[in-house]
Structure 1
């Protein structure tokens, strides 16, 4: 299955996180939100200027800036 960056996914597209490729404070914050490899996500929508992106993860909805979404790799379902 193809792997893409979270930023490149379209609305209503689903997949499984394969990697979070950032360290430091930003990496810790992303992982603290539950965005870890093996977690299933769905793109819920985007703001009018495509930033931020809303994702459904573990029954909740989160929004991420595109600069954060650039570090998250997802295997498309």
Structure 2
């Protein structure tokens, strides 16, 4: 299982599944990250947290803990 946290800069991946429950999962979905969405990793901060992504035509920063709950392929 590969998560968004394991994705390298410049790589484009597709969301396969969201892990987590309740408000946490809902918050990720509200950011536009849903099953089948393509994500491109643009930048990663020097210590790895946060990651900057291109999602549905806009830029989004995601914490490493949230990225670990997003399964990609």
Report the Cα offset of residue 48 of structure 1: 1.1
Query: C-alpha root-mean-square deviation of aligned residues, in Å?
Result: 0.8
Give the TM-score of the pair, scaled to structure 2: 0.95
Give the TM-score of the pair, scaled to structure 1: 0.91
Gaps of 5+ in 1: none
Report the Cα offset of residue 24 of structure 1: 1.1
Report the Cα offset of residue 74 of structure 1: 0.7
Match of 1:48, SS state, is: coil
Aligned partner of 2:68 in structure 1 is: 70
> Is structure 2 residue 39 aligned with structure 1 residue 41?
yes
Gaps of 5+ in 2: none
Runs of 4+ residues over 4 Å off in structure 1: none
Paired residue total: 73
